[in-house]
Amino acid sequence: MNDASRHEFDLLVIGSGPAGQKAAIQGAKLNRRVAVIERAPVLGGVSANTGTIPSKTLRAAIVDLTGLAQRAVYGDAYRVKAGVAISDLAWRMRHVIEHERTVVSDQLRRNRVTVVEGEARFVSSHELEVAGRDGTARYRADKIVIAVGTRPARPPQVEFDDRTVIDSDGLGGLSHIPSTLTVVGGGVIGLEYASMAAALGVRVSLIDQRQRLLEFVDAELIDALQYHLRGLGVSLLLGETVAAVDRRPDGGVITTLQSGKRVPSEVVLYAAGRQGATDRLDLATAGLEADSRGRIAVDDEYRTAQPHIYAVGDVIGFPALAATSMEQGRLAACSALGAPAAAMSDLLPYGIYTIPEISYVGRTERQLTEAAVPYVVGIARYRELIRGEIAGDNTGLLKLLVNAETLAVEGTHVFGTGATELVHIGQAVMAGGLGLHYLVDAVFNYPTFADAYKIAALDAMNKLGQLGDESFPRAAA
């Protein structure tokens, strides 16, 4: 290796997904020499190419083309397009993905970030060897950020063929929309794709070994989601474990459960979690290691066991959201380069893009009960909102958990259209310490879905008044 093939930078970032992109741009904003190393021929990582952006685009296309959101007005038989084909969905996904790749590329270019295409591996704790199309070269930096993301986990006992037995990355390779689908795994990804398929009219069976879905989400919202999924025709097989997946001679698949049940379908989608994409980094050479799921442990400032090497995004585990990954990347770059930055807020919004959406921030009823925090619940249902009637969508609710002693909003939980947008009002109220009185006194545009905050706040105030405390007079709801 000669000197001409060795490149020096202040900051090296491995991966161009949301975490890597923001880390690189923050480093460049601090006037450092920054390079991003991306093994794929396109930028944006899993988020832009196979994960967040494609799946949310797919969801939007399905909702639009099926007319699902307007059926409260026009009836259950209403359709915008009689037959939705894979080509209809693929066109929109390609359009949005190409746009996102262009945006990422342009942002890195404008900030003078060097982009290196190739597979990186550590040759020392400060140096990476990158194998690209034109050979190998070495890159050295004082600070390194690992933002390689994850890939779908594939259980070793399952034989994937990317046609009848697939993971979430294999959805884009389907030649047609199957009439039946078995989804193994009731986590966020499994539920999102199960609801999308069901909205298209696919008969979906969802299998999960847990008795309750998404235990970290408020129970009332999950109950509402399960009710809605069953209404779309989804069969929920909870507390069940897959024993075998066998292909049939006719091209279909039989999923056999430990209980003896056999579930036939055209396609089986495994959504069995994700695995950190760290296996080719030669972490041990840098004095690092990953756990059994490929994740890297970090401290509060995203430093690994090597203080000059940081890790951010999905590769460090929960919450593994594009939004939190972006902020982790920015904060890691600030820490690495000695720039002051506030720690990430504990009030992180969580968005689940099922149909309908779920989003929340703060604590759940179970958490408040376990912490012995007295609270009341204020609820506004979409069927009470004229905006929901106008939109033809009356499925949903907004729920506020209010501390009965301090009037602080302890949790905001939303199920329904626009949940991932609406939750930010509650997040701002909670972060600013504004409390229940702010929402009671606030004036919201009318008619809007956001007006649900006023209704829920008045509901909570009325319940406080019913406790007999004169300081909480009954409000007109």
Asked if 346 and 361 count as a contact pair (C-beta separation under 8 A), the reply is no
d(CA 32, CA 106): 18
Query: Domain locations in the chain?
Result: 3-152+275-336, 165-272, 356-466
CATH 3.50.50.60 fits 165-272, yes or no: yes
Q: What is the largest CA-CA distance in the chain?
A: 81
Taking Cα atoms as reference points, which of 414, 419, 408 lies closest to residue 460?
408
d(CA 345, CA 361): 11
CATH 3.90.640.10 fits 3-152+275-336, yes or no: no
Q: Given this model, what pLDDT does residue 2 score?
A: 43
Asked if 365 and 218 count as a contact pair (C-beta separation under 8 A), the reply is yes
Q: Given this model, what pLDDT does residue 116 score?
A: 97
* pLDDT digit string, tens, across residues 331-382: 999 999 999 999 999 999 999 999 999 999 999 999 999 999 999 999 999 9
With vertex at residue 157, the alpha carbon angle to CA 243 and CA 168, rounded to the nearest 5 degrees, is: 95
d(CA 167, CA 154): 8
* pLDDT digit string, tens, across residues 225-259: 999 999 999 999 999 999 999 998 888 999 999 99
What's the order of all strands across the beta sheet hosting 262-265? Answer: 242-247, 253-257, 262-265
Residue with tokens 């996904």: 93
Taking Cα atoms as reference points, which of 232, 241, 191 lies closest to residue 352?
191
With vertex at residue 304, the alpha carbon angle to CA 302 and CA 305, rounded to the nearest 5 degrees, is: 150
Token pair for 34: 């920054």
Which amino acid is residue 338, in one-letter code?
G
The 10 Å Cβ neighbour count of residue 340 is 6
Q: Given this model, what pLDDT does residue 79 score?
A: 67
Q: Given this model, what pLDDT does residue 477 score?
A: 43
pLDDT beneath 50, residues of the chain: 1-4, 473-477
Q: Given this model, what pLDDT does residue 469 score?
A: 58
- Give the list of residues 6+ apart from residue 318 with CB closer than 8 angstroms, or none: none
Say yes or no: do domains 3-152+275-336 and 165-272 share a fold: yes
Q: Given this model, what pLDDT does residue 5 score?
A: 62
Q: Given this model, what pLDDT does residue 69 score?
A: 73
Taking Cα atoms as reference points, which of 386, 397, 399, 378 lies closest to residue 457?
378
Fold of the domain built from segment(s) 356-466: Enolase-like; domain 1 (3.30.390)
Token pair for 263: 């579930």
d(CA 334, CA 81): 49
Q: Please report how the helices 52-66 and 188-199 are oriented relative to each other, as an axis angle in degrees rounded to 10.
A: 30
